[in-house]
């Protein structure tokens, strides 16, 4: 059995005293009572001492209580001021009347009749007065102090005393002799170089005492998921692109063949800005596409396309606004690109809907890429994201045709919709001179984060509890 | 997306098969089952498939998809002498009229319910809340042709649906529930659209309300349809969807002559598609022989032409078919998404990281090495947090959104440090020290760029700690042209702050946060912070 130096000192002291209160031992050992109790508990764990806790209640008068102990309770002071009878109106002018009237009635010291208070013939000592007297004299009876406590005249103080007593085992150990040399904690440079550490009693540290918790600086748990996705796409040969949060209505909607009266464009769903954005060269091709399908087999939306609407500005509602600009700048195949960017929707904020969240979008443009290849990319991507079971369902998005909605199997939830995909409509690509199919897929990555991190409330990602970050492990198996 | 209620008994009767078979197949054409009840199911359909917004339309699609009845459904339009005129004064108000007569209907509750729901769903999906298209159905037996669609004075009176006393049109907009709901579409016009019969009886005040006179009941057998609006194509699509649904329910469609023009046409639109192009897009080995049954399953008419060309007859109700690829998608759905091979293309590319992401990643590594934990605050914020609480003047870089959702989210952030202080404010009950940082987008007007910021709170946080931290970050970023200069940023204590300079331009700041700023964010200990524009490092 390896005792700490402090346990040994405590035991040695108890060898003389047998049993003592912690504060007494603390004086003898030049420390504080809390430390003694801590050492004693350690030694008690080895059966060398016994620790007992005694609690004593002490009743103390509050400042107000002190005053009443001296001058009498309000009801006594007020009743003393009454001579026979007094109208209530007059009585209530006494500064203590508010407290006193109820108590005087309860004590049957007065009776009130038609607004006149009449003093009783005798006003014997009330239980409260008796209790107050006892407390002042230091002989409080806990059973009698309830009323005074609730009147705020008395407070109860608990005093804890720790009694430590050496056990027969402790005595035996002491008799066998213990090494009382002071223990060495942290080694000094001197002790290491000179080798004098060999002569010291080195403290042995207990593994039973948990270490202090320290917290490393670390990436946000959500960042780790975003970085995994980025790495995964870079590994698959995709190049990353990014762009401005503020986009013209032209790039956000018109270039994606979203009709100008589409409900998603309305103020209720999209954040608009008081800012005019100039149209890029070649905007006429987009107009023609909307009005009659340009030079494709499309009919277009019909009606007339309003240039002024396209010149408006919005906070980008989807990362597709960036994808189409990336394609416009890189119209020659092959192109494999992705962006991971925040998008904005004018939604009321609740646990599963936020006005801003991250969207991943991947695009592949090449000669002869097909819808089957799109499904192949989706399968590969979700497998690498840790979802082995993927299935596909028809979907509708204004700028893709055919469109598809991938679903992944999540234990406990079943099939979960996770993003959307499709081939960009020819109405979208042809105005920019893109003559090969563009496979595209998008994913609200915060939904993946919710699933992976087991979150109930998306806001935790952005307005984070630091303890949640501290206590979420950095590593998790995929 | 529209939620459509499918009454099982009616659906089974029209589809000619059991509901379980239908409910199993519906998700394969893309609809979501929202709710299954005792006698009906609620399903969600895509916004472009307005032809599926009725039990009749769903049954028609399902008969094809399940192989019960495939190919083009045809809807003959019988001639009638019923005439309709359109007042030229409606030109700037609501000029387009579509119409048809439907006879020999035998309504029951399920079919009335289906038609009413179709009308309502189309008002939203095509009609954009009745502004672009509005639909009226009238009991033909109560009225006398010819009918007139006119621009009427606003004080014209009639008894609106669900009322017993006549009201003026102005009163209807003010007092009738439908009037109040849709007043915005017409209230700014001097005259209002109105439909009357030969005896000047009012049928309808489009797009607001019908007259009580022509109420459709279960006794109604003959119907006059009016569809008014501002867009010719949307009006004709709506007429086609409603007429074809009535025809599916057993009605006979008759034409109406509008200003000499016979209407409606329920004839298919012809398109010639190239089967090879479809095969190339989908990645399937398709031939004209194999593609035709797939097209017919989706209720197209299809005939082989020369070579790989196929003549496709698109039924009148398929308003969504705008391009050949829309037909290719239907081929893919008919083939079955679950049967597709999912393969990767041989495309070879080398992936490259966005330079801004690479810099952000490296800066994060440095901050983490210095003991800082990353947070990812919102990018939407407000002027109170960004400027007022920071004791800074409002920046010209701030762009406010026009219709914010709350006072919390009125602008895109221009600085990160206030966002960090807000996160510290949320964590006052958590153990100190707290050291947090963020790397992310901020806006300068409409331009987005990246910054890094850090903040630390603990009882001994002071200027020397933050100066050392900033110094370490700048050394790690290896840019030697940056210098430190005196600064008078009111967010920090005077004499305990510095500016990071790129030549003569201020590109960052650091210091002890001003106690008024600390208290403003409900914090109680010393707080130090820094913020650095990352553009000079790119």
CB-based contact A275 B404, cutoff 8 Å: no
- Cβ-defined contacts of A37-46 (< 8 Å, 24+): A37/A162, A37/A164, A39/A4, A39/A6, A39/A7, A39/A9, A39/A10, A40/A10, A40/A162, A40/A164, A42/A4, A42/A6, A42/A7, A43/A3, A43/A7, A43/A10, A43/A11, A43/A170, A46/A1, A46/A3, A46/A7
Is B400 touching A (CB cutoff 8 A)? yes
Q: Which of B426, B378, B440, B437 is nearest to A459 (CA)?
A: B378
Residues of B with CB below 8 A from A277's CB? 446
Q: Which residues pair with B372 in a beta bridge?
A: none
Averaged pLDDT of chain B? 95
Residues of B with CB below 8 A from A243's CB? 448
Q: Which of A218, A173, A458, A177 is nearest to A342 (CA)?
A: A458
CB-based contact B371 A216, cutoff 8 Å: yes
CB-based contact A297 B332, cutoff 8 Å: no
User: What does the alpha-carbon distance between residue A95 and residue A81 come to, in Å, rounded to a whole number?
Assistant: 12
**Testing the interface with A: which of B335, B345, B458 to mutate, by most A Cβ within 10 A?**
B345
Could you read off the pLDDT tens digit of each residue along chain A, which spans 478 residues? 577 878 888 888 888 888 888 888 888 888 888 888 988 898 888 888 999 988 888 888 888 888 888 888 888 888 888 888 888 888 888 888 888 888 888 888 888 888 888 888 888 888 888 888 888 887 777 777 788 888 888 888 888 888 999 999 888 888 888 777 777 889 999 999 999 999 888 888 888 889 999 999 999 999 999 999 999 999 999 999 999 999 999 999 999 999 998 888 888 889 999 999 999 999 999 999 999 999 999 999 988 999 999 999 999 999 999 999 999 999 999 999 999 999 999 988 888 889 999 999 999 999 999 999 999 999 999 999 889 999 999 999 989 999 999 999 998 889 998 889 999 999 999 999 999 999 999 988 988 888 888 899 999 999 999 999 999 998 877 6
Is B351 touching A (CB cutoff 8 A)? yes
Is A329 touching B (CB cutoff 8 A)? no
Is A358 touching B (CB cutoff 8 A)? no
State the Rg of chain B over Cα: 33
Q: Which residues pair with B193 in a beta bridge?
A: B151
- Cβ(B174)–Cβ(B180) under 8 Å? yes
pLDDT in tens, B85-108: 999 999 999 999 999 999 998 888
Residues of B with CB below 8 A from A257's CB? none
CB-based contact A277 B446, cutoff 8 Å: yes
Taking CA–CA distances from B350, the nearest residue in chain A reads A237
Is A437 touching B (CB cutoff 8 A)? yes
Residue A426 confidence (pLDDT):
95
Evaluate if residue B72 carries a pLDDT over 90: yes
C-alpha distance from residue A43 to each of A1, A34, A49, B320 (Å): 11, 14, 6, 83
DSSP state of B482: E
pLDDT in tens, A390-435: 999 999 998 999 999 999 999 888 999 888 999 999 999 999 999 9
Residues 178-197 of A with CB under 8 A from B: none
Is A377 touching B (CB cutoff 8 A)? yes
């Amino acid at each position: 059995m390896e005792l700490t130096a402090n346990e040994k000192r405590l035991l040695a002291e108890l060898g003389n005293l047998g049993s003592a209160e912690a504060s007494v031992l603390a004086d003898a050992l030049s420390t504080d009572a809390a430390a003694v109790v801590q050492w004693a508990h350690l030694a008690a764990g080895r059966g060398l001492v016994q620790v007992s806790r005694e609690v004593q209640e002490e009743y103390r008068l509050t400042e107000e209580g002190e005053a009443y102990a001296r001058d009498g309770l309000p009801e006594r002071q007020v009743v003393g001021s009454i001579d026979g009878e007094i109208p209530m109106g007059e009585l209530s002018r006494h500064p203590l009347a508010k407290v006193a009237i109820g108590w005087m009635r309860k004590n049957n010291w007065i009776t009130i009749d038609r607004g006149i208070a009449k003093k009783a013939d005798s006003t014997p000592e009330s239980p409260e007065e008796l209790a107050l007297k006892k407390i002042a004299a230091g002989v409080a009876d806990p059973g009698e102090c309830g009323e005074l406590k609730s009147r705020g005249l008395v407070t109860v103080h608990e005093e804890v005393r720790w009694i430590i007593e050496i056990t027969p085992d402790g005595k035996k150990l002491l008799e066998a002799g213990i090494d009382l040399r002071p223990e060495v904690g942290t080694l000094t440079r001197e002790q290491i170089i000179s080798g004098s550490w060999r002569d010291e009693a080195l403290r042995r540290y207990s593994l039973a005492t948990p270490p202090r918790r320290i917290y490393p600086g670390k990436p946000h748990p959500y960042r780790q998921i975003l970085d995994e996705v980025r790495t995964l796409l870079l590994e698959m040969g995709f190049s990353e692109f990014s762009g401005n949060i503020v986009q013209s209505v032209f790039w956000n909607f018109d270039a994606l063949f979203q009709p100008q009266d589409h409900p998603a464009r309305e103020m209720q769903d999209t954040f608009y800005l008081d800012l005019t954005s100039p149209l890029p060269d070649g905007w006429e091709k987009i107009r023609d596409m909307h009005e009659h399908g340009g030079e494709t087999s499309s009919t277009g939306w019909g009606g007339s396309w309003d240039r002024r609407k396209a010149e408006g500005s919005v906070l980008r509602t989807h990362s597709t606004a960036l994808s189409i600009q990336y394609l416009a700048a890189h119209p020659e195949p092959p192109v494999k690109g992705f962006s991971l960017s925040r998008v904005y929707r004018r939604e009321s904020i609740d646990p599963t809907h936020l006005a801003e969240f991250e969207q991943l979008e991947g695009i592949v443009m090449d000669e002869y890429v097909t819808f089957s290849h799109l499904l192949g990319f989706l399968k590969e991507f979700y497998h690498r994201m840790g979802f082995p079971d993927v299935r596909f369902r028809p979907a509708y998005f204004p700028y893709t045709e055919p469109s598809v909605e991938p679903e992944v199997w999540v234990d406990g939830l079943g099939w979960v919709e996770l993003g959307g995909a499709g081939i960009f409509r020819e109405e979208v690509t042809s105005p920019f001179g893109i003559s090969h199919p563009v496979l595209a897929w998008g994913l609200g990555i915060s939904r993946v984060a919710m699933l992976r991190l087991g979150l109930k409330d998306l806001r935790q990602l952005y307005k984070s509890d630091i303890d949640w970050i501290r206590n979420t492990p950095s590593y998790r198996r995929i | 997306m529209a939620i459509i209620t499918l009454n099982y008994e009616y659906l089974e009767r029209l589809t000619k098969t059991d509901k379980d078979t239908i409910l199993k197949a519906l998700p394969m054409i893309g609809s979501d089952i929202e709710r299954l009840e005792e006698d009906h199911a609620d399903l969600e359909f895509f916004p472009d498939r307005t032809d599926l917004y009725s039990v009749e339309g769903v049954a028609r699609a399902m008969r094809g998809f399940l192989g019960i009845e495939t190919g083009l459904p045809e809807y003959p339009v019988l001639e009638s002498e019923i005439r309709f005129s359109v007042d030229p004064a409606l030109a700037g108000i609501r000029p387009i009229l579509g119409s048809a007569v439907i006879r020999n209907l035998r309504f029951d509750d399920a079919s009335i319910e289906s038609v009413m729901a179709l009308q309502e769903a189309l008002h939203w999906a095509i009609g954009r809340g009745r502004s672009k298209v509005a639909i009226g159905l009238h009991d033909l037996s109560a009225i006398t042709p010819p009918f007139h669609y006119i621009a009427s004075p606003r004080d014209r009176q009639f008894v609106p649906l669900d009322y017993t006393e006549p009201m003026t049109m102005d009163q209807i907009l003010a007092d009738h529930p439908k009037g109040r709901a849709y007043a915005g579409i017409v209230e700014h016009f001097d005259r209002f659209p109105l439909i009357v019969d030969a005896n000047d009886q009012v049928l309808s005040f489009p797009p607001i309300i019908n007259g009580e006179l022509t109420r459709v009941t279960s006794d109604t057998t003959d119907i006059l349809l009016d569809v008014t609006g501002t867009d010719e194509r949307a009006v004709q699509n709506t007429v086609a969807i409603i007429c074809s649904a009535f025809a599916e329910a057993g009605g006979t469609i008759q034409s109406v002559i509008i200003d000499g023009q016979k209407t409606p046409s329920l004839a298919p639109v012809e398109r010639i598609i190239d089967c090879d192009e479809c095969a190339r897009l989908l990645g399937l080995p398709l031939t004209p022989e194999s593609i035709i049954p797939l097209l017919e399953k989706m209720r197209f008419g299809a005939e082989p032409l020369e070579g790989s060309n196929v003549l496709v007859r698109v039924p009148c109700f398929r308003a969504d078919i705008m391009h050949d690829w829309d037909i290719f998608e239907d081929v893919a759905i008919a083939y079955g998404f679950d049967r597709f091979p999912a393969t990767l293309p041989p495309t070879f590319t080398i992936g490259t990281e966005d330079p801004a992401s690479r810099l952000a990643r490296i800066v994060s590594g440095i901050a983490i090495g210095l003991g800082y934990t990353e947070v990812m605050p919102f990018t939407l914020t407000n002027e109170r947090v960004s400027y007022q609480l920071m004791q800074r003047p409002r920046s010209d870089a701030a762009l406010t959104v026009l219709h914010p959702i709350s006072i919390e989210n009125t602008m895109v952030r221009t600085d990160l440090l206030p966002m960090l202080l807000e996160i510290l404010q949320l964590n006052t009950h958590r153990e100190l020290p707290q050291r947090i940082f963020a790397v992310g987008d901020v806006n300068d007007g409409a331009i987005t760029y990246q910054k890094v910021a850090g903040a630390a709170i603990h009882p001994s946080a002071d200027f020397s700690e933050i100066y050392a931290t900033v110094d370490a970050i700048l050394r790690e970023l290896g840019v030697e042209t940056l210098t430190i200069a005196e600064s008078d940023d009111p967010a920090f204590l005077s004499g305990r702050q510095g500016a990071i300079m790129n030549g003569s331009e201020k590109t960052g700041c650091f210091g002890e946060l001003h106690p008024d700023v600390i208290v403003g964010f409900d914090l109680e200990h010393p707080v130090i912070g820094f913020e650095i524009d990352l553009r000079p490092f790119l």
